[in-house]
Chain A
Amino acid sequence: GAGVSQSPRYKVAKRGQDVALRCDPISGHVSLFWYQQALGQGPEFLTYFQNEAQLDKSGLPSDRFFAERPEGSVSTLKIQRTQQEDSAVYLCASSLAGGVGQPQHFGDGTRLSIL
């Protein structure tokens, strides 16, 4: 498949557990974005990578959230000590470059439910 792939599609965890969400961007895409979409809301920016460099993490809601992209391709969003308010759909998007003219291609998301 040529699109952005996210796994798992669904994740259920108990409060306090750590979770890891994976994003496989489109091959060759330099830019990678993570968004959080709460129920009934639009996606909200979490963080941005250009290759392996995390250039903006201003949207991460707390220090329990951590993202990495060590080799400039696959990215992982990790949430430590999950809380109920972390329940949301987490979307990953990639683009060929980061400039405003470049469209972002979205994955289908990971739906995270914290019990």
Chain B
Amino acid sequence: AQSVTQPDIHITVSEGASLELRCNYSYGATPYLFWYVQSPGQGLQLLLKYFSGDTLVQGIKGFEAEFKRSQSSFNLRKPSVHWSDAAEYFCAVALNSGGYQKVTFGTGTKLQVIP
């Protein structure tokens, strides 16, 4: 079964600083990988996804992520964080299960942005 590990429960960065959120996955084949963001009291919004091809994927809101097969990682990055980026971020892996995607989420990383 696939699994996702987000080793950082909580990260604090200064506004304008760069950001990297870590994600490691466990899955036998080439995974389908996602990053979602969740603001308090809201549902999840898809930031970006990786299925195949270029290992550096661009997403919304200036985020990008890099797939590294050798490290089983899919880390999320942003060059300059804005106060509005404060939220919880979830990495997820999808398994093609009988024609639909069964998604497994990590436990999340809560991002705090300080002025």
Chain A contacts with B in 69-115, Cβ cutoff 8 A: 91, 93, 98-104, 106-109
A84–B84 alpha-carbon span in the complex (Å): 34
Central interface residue in B42, B43, B106, B107, by most chain A CB within 10 Å: B43
Q: Is the interface of B mostly helix, strand, loop or mixed?
A: strand
The verdict on A4 contacting B100 (CB below 8 Å), with A42-B108, A44-B105 known, is no
Closest to B90 in A: A42
Please indicate the chain A residues that have their CB under 8 angstroms from the CB of B100 in the complex. Answer: 31, 48, 50, 55-56, 98-100
B94 near A: Cβ within 8 Å? yes
- Range class of the B interface residue count: 20 to 34
B18 contacts the other chain (CB 8 A): no
| A1 within 8 Å of B (CB atoms) | no
Interface pair B105/A99, CB less than 8 Å apart: no
Residues of A within 8 A of B107 (CB): 40-42
Kindly identify which residue among A50, A100, A107 contacts B43, using a CB–CB cutoff of 8 Å: A107
Q: Chain A 33-52 against B: per-residue CB contact (8 Å), 1 yes, 0 no?
A: 10000001111110010100
In-complex Cβ contact of B42 among A93, A102, A104, A108 (8 A) = A108
- Binary interface encoding of chain B residues 82-112 relative to chain A, with 1 for a CB under 8 A from any of its CBs, else 0: 0000000010101011111111111110000
Q: Does B41 contact A (CB under 8 A)?
A: yes
Please count how many residues in chain A sit with their CB below 8 Å of the partner chain's CB atoms: 26
Select one of A50, A56, A91, A102 contacting B102, CB under 8 A: A56
Q: Is the CB of B101 within 8 A of A102?
A: yes
CB-nearest residue of chain B to A42: B105
**Across-interface contacts of A101 in B (CB, < 8 A):** 51
Bound state CA distance, A56 and B105, in angstroms? 17
A41 with B108, Cβ < 8 A, contacts A4-B43, A91-B44 known:
yes
Task: List the 4 closest pairs (A to B, CB-CB), nearest first.
Answer: A98-B100, A42-B105, A106-B43, A100-B101
Known: A42-B107, A100-B94, A109-B42. 13 other contacts (CB 8 A): A4-B43, A33-B103, A43-B90, A56-B102, A98-B99, A98-B100, A99-B100, A99-B101, A100-B51, A100-B100, A100-B101, A106-B44, A108-B42
